[in-house]
Structure 1
C-alpha cells in the first residue's frame, strides 16, 4: 500500500478545524483533525508533510512521525506539531482499517469498557468562531440568548445551581467552569479586587448549595493569571473542594507552576497547551502537576499521546485527554481513554456533542448516564459526513505525486 495524496478540508462555518485525509492506492482513506490556525496547518501539510509521505507505506507510522519532526515545532503545540498530530491520527485510522480493529485495540486493548465523563460548560458557539483564543472573548460574557437546553456557558455564569442539577441528573461526575476569566482580561491577570473575587465565587456557592458533593467542580483558569493572583484565587476556592485547578498560570514557567501546585491541597492539572513528551517530562520531574492533560490533536497525535501517558504512569500521575475542539479529536480521546491504564476522566462538551459534532462526522462515541464508550468500528470508527464535502463553504486542497 502507498500513500497517493494528502488532502486538507476546511469549512468556513467551523474556521478553527482542519481535517486531513490520507489517501492510498487501495482506496482506503485515513482521517485526522487538528484545531486552531487551520489555514496555517493546511499550508504545512502540503508544503512539509506531503513531500515526506506521498509514495510511502502509510503503515510505517513511527518512521513517519520521526520524519516529520523537522527543525522547528518539536516542543510546542505550534502549527508543525498540530499538522503532524492530524497526519499521525490519519495513519492510525488507516492501520485500523487495514487490520479491521479499532484504535484502542491496536494500542494494546481496552483497560476499561467505559470512562466517567465531566462536562466542560461551554455554549454552542464557544471556540467555534474567530478570534481563535482559548478564553472567551469579552463581548460574549453575560450576553446572548440560548440556542437549546445546553447553553452551559450562560448556565454557569447565571444559573450555576440549575446547571449543576441538570448535570447530576444526566450522571456527569464533574463540571468545568471558568468564572474568573473576565477579571483576568480586565487586569491582564495581575489583580483581582475583593468584589470581583466574591462575584467569581458565586457559581461555586450556588453549585454546592444546590447539589452538595454530588458533583466535582473543575476550575479552568486558562493560564490567565500571574502566580500571586492565582494563589490568591486558589486559596478562596479551597473550601468548595475543587477537583483540580487547570492551567492557573502560563505553562512555560515550570518552577512557578511547581510553586503554585505546592501552595494548595487541590491538584493542579496541566496542560493541553504543552507539546510532546519533553514538555510533560519537565512538569513531572518538577512535581508541578497532579494530573496531566493533553490533546492528541495538538501534542503529536496518537503516537505521542501514548508515550506521554506512559511517562506519567511511571510518575504515578493520572492523565485526562482534552476535548473542547472537534469531533474527530473526541473520538481519538475516547480510544485513548479506553486503553490508557492511568486515564482518569473524559472531558465532554455536551453543547458540542449534541449539535455540531453530529453535523461533521458519521459516528460519535456514546455518552450515556455519565460515561463515555468508544467507537468499535475499524480505526477511528467514524468518517467525515459526506455532506461536508459538498458544502458551499468548504475548502479542499490536495497534493499528489504530480504536484511534488
Structure 2
C-alpha cells in the first residue's frame, strides 16, 4: 500500500493523464474540472540550514524575490524565531520537522514556537502514521498541524482526518497514487474542512501535475525548492515570477515537453 510500488503506480497514472490530455488536445486541468486560476502562489521551501543567522538571510532573500510564504526544515526554536524576525509578522511561516519527535517533545516544541506564529508544524512526530499522537500534538500544542507526504491513498488520509490529526493535508502526487488519487484526497479534505497544501518540491512531471491540480482549486500554495538550479527540463516556464507565482501550463496534457538539449547535456553515457 506504500513504497516503491505505489510510487510506480503514481508515475503511470500521471503519464496516462498526460497522454489523455494530448489525445484530446487540452491541458490536464481541463480534464479534471477546469482551471479557476492561471497562476499559483509559491512558497519557498528552504533546505535545512541550522544556523539562525543564515536562515534569516535566506528568508529575506526569498521574500525579496517575491515568494508568498516561507517553509523551514528546522527543528529548533531559535531557527523558527530567527525566520519570523527576518520576514516580519505578515508573511506565512511553515515549519517542516521531518518526523523527529515523540508526542510530549512535539507538544513542548509547538508551545515554545507559539510566539513565532507558524502557520503550521509539519510532521513533528515519528512515526508519520501515528495519527493519534499527531492529533494530541495538534490539540495540546495549540498549533495547526500538516502531514501527508508520507501518506498513501485516500484510505490513509481518511484515517488521518478522522483522527483529527491535521488542519492541512499534504498529498504528494508522485507518492499518493497519481492524479487520480490526489483528486480523491482533495474531495475528502473538503468534506472534513481540511486545507490542501500539497507536497511538491519536485523538478519533473510531478511538479507540473501539481500545478494543474492546484489550478482547479480556489486557494492553496505550491511548494518550490528554494535553490538555484544549473538547468531545468522546462526552462524558465516554471520559474517563480516577480509576484511570487508560477504560471499554470496551458499546453496539452501536462503542458510542457522536456528540453532535449538539457537531457542530452546531462545524459549519463
Q: What TM-score comes out, normalization by structure 1 length?
A: 0.62
Shift, 1:106, TM fit: 1.0
The answer for unaligned runs of 5 or more in structure 2 is: none
Equivalent pair of 2:237/2:247 in contact (CA under 8 Å): no
**Is the aligned partner of 1:370 residue 2:244?**
yes
1:224 alignment partner in structure 2: 100
1:202 alignment partner in structure 2: 78
The answer for unaligned runs of 5 or more in structure 1 is: 1-72, 123-152, 181-199, 395-404
User: Which of 145, 158, 162 is 1:285 aligned to?
Assistant: 162
1:247 alignment partner in structure 2: 123
In 2: Cα distance, 1:392 partner to 1:344 partner = 35
In 2: Cα distance, 1:164 partner to 1:391 partner = 31
Choose 313-322 or 81-90, whichever is displaced more: 313-322
State how 1:93-104 maps to structure 2 within 5 Å: 93-104=18-29
The number of residues matched between the two structures is: 266
Equivalent pair of 1:363/1:383 in contact (CA under 8 Å): no
Equivalent pair of 1:156/1:177 in contact (CA under 8 Å): no
Per-residue CA deviations over 1:22-70 (Å, capped at 9, x if unaligned) read xxxxxxxxxxxxxxxxxxxxxxxxxxxxxxxxxxxxxxxxxxxxxxxxx
2:209 alignment partner in structure 1: 332
Highest RCO, 1 vs 2 (Cα 8 Å, sep ≥ 6):
2
* Structure 1 runs (4+) greater than 3 angstroms displaced: 153-158, 360-364, 389-392
Shift, 1:117, TM fit: 1.5
Shift, 1:257, TM fit: 1.3
Equivalent pair of 2:111/2:142 in contact (CA under 8 Å): no
**Is the aligned partner of 1:214 residue 2:90?**
yes
Relative to structure 1, the CA distance from residue 260 to residue 102 in structure 2 (aligned partners, 3 Å threshold; closer, same or farther) is: same
User: Which of 52, 72, 76 is 1:177 aligned to?
Assistant: 72
Secondary structure at the residue paired with 2:175? coil
User: Which of 32, 47, 51 is 1:107 aligned to?
Assistant: 32
RMSD of aligned residue pairs (Cα, Å): 2.0
**Is the aligned partner of 1:379 residue 2:253?**
yes
Shift, 1:305, TM fit: 0.5
State how 1:141-180 maps to structure 2 within 5 Å: 153-154=48-49, 157-180=52-75
Shift, 1:392, TM fit: 4.7
2:135 alignment partner in structure 1: 258
Per-residue CA deviations over 1:106-158 (Å, capped at 9, x if unaligned) read 11111222222111002xxxxxxxxxxxxxxxxxxxxxxxxxxxxxx548654
Structure with greater strand percent? 1
Q: What TM-score comes out, normalization by structure 2 length?
A: 0.91
Relative to structure 1, the CA distance from residue 224 to residue 207 in structure 2 (aligned partners, 3 Å threshold; closer, same or farther) is: closer
Equivalent pair of 1:362/1:382 in contact (CA under 8 Å): no
